[in-house]
Amino acid sequence: MATIERVEVLVTSPGRNFVTVRVTTSDGVTGLGDATLNGRELAVASYLRDHLVPLLIGRDPARIEDTWQYLYKGAYWRRGPVTMTAIAAIDVALWDIKGKQAGLPVYQLLGGRSRDGVLVYCHASGGSVDELLDDVAAYTEKGFKAIRAQAAVPGLSGSYGVRKGTFYEPASTALPDEQAWSTEAYLDFAPGYLGKVREKFGFGFHLLHDVHHRLTPIEAARFGRSVEDVRLFWMEDPTPAENQEAFRLIRQHTTTPIATGEVLNSIWDVQTLITEQLIDYVRTTVVHAGGITHLRRIFDLAALYHVRTGSHGATDLSPVTTAAAVAVDISVPNFGIQEHMGHTPETYEVFRGTPRLEDGMLLPSEEPGLGIEYDDEAAARFPYDPKYLPVARRLDGSVHDW
């Protein structure tokens, strides 16, 4: 029997920060897992190096479920982003190994294709409404069938979710940037520009919008109702996601579909949301919700309640996560949509073989495992360089919720 011989924790910043786990078996097979927790990267690196790696050496890499249960239940402390990201990285690396040993891509181990490709949405944004409309036009021409639209709120310094240069990267400063927020200004402005996107481009594509957890339940209810004519695919994170009960109130007031879960980490964190049918799309991801093993459990629960998947896919989720997400997305019956931001060319130098984007859909690699190679030489050129997401302050100077 092959055993786990070596587990490396690799930290690199090719345009943004990534923590990667590489598991090597005694017969020389390697597997990769993403362990990136944006802004708290080294906490996960330590959790892995100091606490998990010693437990893994000598274990059977084929026992994926057992290893998951052992790491989750054996810690005594459960859930939370640091724990669930660390377990996810090991889990995904073991699926990669199992695929390579079987000579099959991971999606085949999960039951094979349920669809031809994975529908993705891209990110259009603008410092003004005109800039946003130009950006939507550009993405439409590239063949995207689903587009998230965000415009800077006039009068507020730095609006979250809006691209500044050619590449959209929300975590870009050595210390958290401080941005201004006004709920009143946002609620007056956002429904109008979403309407303009529909006026100009029609209804022949999916339009999404991210509220970034900024509203209270009654404000979110008002927002959802005010954009019903725009027929959003979803409004994302209308309120802070940790209060599952808050979504009941939103639900009572609007037919605008709701997505949440990118910051949630376990089936317990979405249990009420799913079983009470308070959301339409669950945004938990492979990397932050316990790996392929646990994410499939969440998605199966969701399927029972007509909740579809819509996994997070921002730049802080490495190409290893993209590959694992596509394997899950293409196989589960209740797939909805996958977020796709893509990465910098430097990131693709380190992580080789990312899933192909064709006609607005991601396609899984047909290589055994996940099909991603980690280039150590390229990674060495990009030492760790911490970057943080911004913090929002209200106009009176107080920290806003999120």
Q: What residues are labeled active site?
A: 160, 212
CB of 374 to ligand EZ4, least distance (A): 22
**Which of these ranges, 17-25, 292-300, 312-320, 393-401, lies near ligand EZ4 under the rule CB under 6 A?**
312-320
For Co ion, the closer CB: 310 or 371: 310
Q: Strand pairing of 146-151 and 118-126?
A: parallel
> Among ligand EZ4, Co ion, none, what does residue 34 contact (CB within 5–8 Å per kind)?
none
**Closest residue (Cβ) to ligand EZ4?**
314
Q: What is the total count of residues that contact Co ion (CB under 5 A)?
A: 1
Residue 177: half-sphere exposure toward Cβ, Cα within 13 Å = 15
CB of 237 to Co ion, least distance (A): 5
Q: Give the DSSP H/E element, type plus range, for residue 72.
A: helix 64-74
- The DSSP 8-state label assigned to residue 316 in this structure reads T
CB of 312 to Co ion, least distance (A): 7
Within 10 angstroms of residue 202's Cβ, the number of other Cβ atoms is 8
Token pair in block for residue 229: 């004519």
- Give 312's contacts (C-beta < 8 A, 6+ positions apart): 261, 262, 283, 284, 285, 288, 339
> Among ligand EZ4, Co ion, none, what does residue 16 contact (CB within 5–8 Å per kind)?
none
**Ranges of H-type helices in 129-268:** 129-141, 183-201, 217-226, 246-253
Q: Strand pairing of 118-126 and 30-34?
A: unpaired
With the CA atoms of 123, 142, 198 and 185 taken in that order, what torsion angle do they form, in degrees rounded to the nearest 10?
A: 20
> Among ligand EZ4, Co ion, none, what does residue 314 contact (CB within 5–8 Å per kind)?
ligand EZ4
CB of 268 to Co ion, least distance (A): 21
DSSP assignments along 231-281, one per residue: T-SEEE--S-TT-TTHHHHHHHH--S-EEE-TT--SGGGSHHHHHTT--SE
Binds ligand EZ4 by CB under 6 A, chosen from 84, 314, 330, 370: 314
CB of 392 to ligand EZ4, least distance (A): 12
**Which of these ranges, 7-15, 244-252, 309-317, 391-399, lies near ligand EZ4 under the rule CB under 6 A?**
309-317
Q: What is the total count of residues that contact ligand EZ4 (CB under 6 A)?
A: 10
- Residue 210-229 contact track with Co ion, rule CB under 5 A, x = bound: x-------------------
For Co ion, the closer CB: 90 or 258: 258
Phi, psi angle pair for 44, to nearest 5°: -70, -40
Residues 176-215 that bind ligand EZ4 (CB under 6 A): 210, 212
Residues 315-354 that bind ligand EZ4 (CB under 6 A): 316, 339
> Among Co ion, ligand EZ4, none, what does residue 220 contact (CB within 5–8 Å per kind)?
none
CB of 235 to Co ion, least distance (A): 11
Binds ligand EZ4 by CB under 6 A, chosen from 61, 81, 170, 238: 170
Residue 174: half-sphere exposure toward Cβ, Cα within 13 Å = 2
* Total number of residues shown for the chain: 402
Token pair in block for residue 164: 């500044």
Binds ligand EZ4 by CB under 6 A, chosen from 13, 20, 38, 266: 38
Within 10 angstroms of residue 297's Cβ, the number of other Cβ atoms is 15
> Among ligand EZ4, Co ion, none, what does residue 389 contact (CB within 5–8 Å per kind)?
ligand EZ4
- Give 207's contacts (C-beta < 8 A, 6+ positions apart): 146, 147, 148, 149, 194, 197, 198, 230, 231, 232, 233
CB of 213 to ligand EZ4, least distance (A): 9
Q: Which parts of this chain interact with ligand EZ4 (CB under 6 A)? A: 38, 170, 210, 212, 262, 312, 314, 316, 339, 389
Q: Which parts of this chain interact with Co ion (CB under 5 A)? A: 210
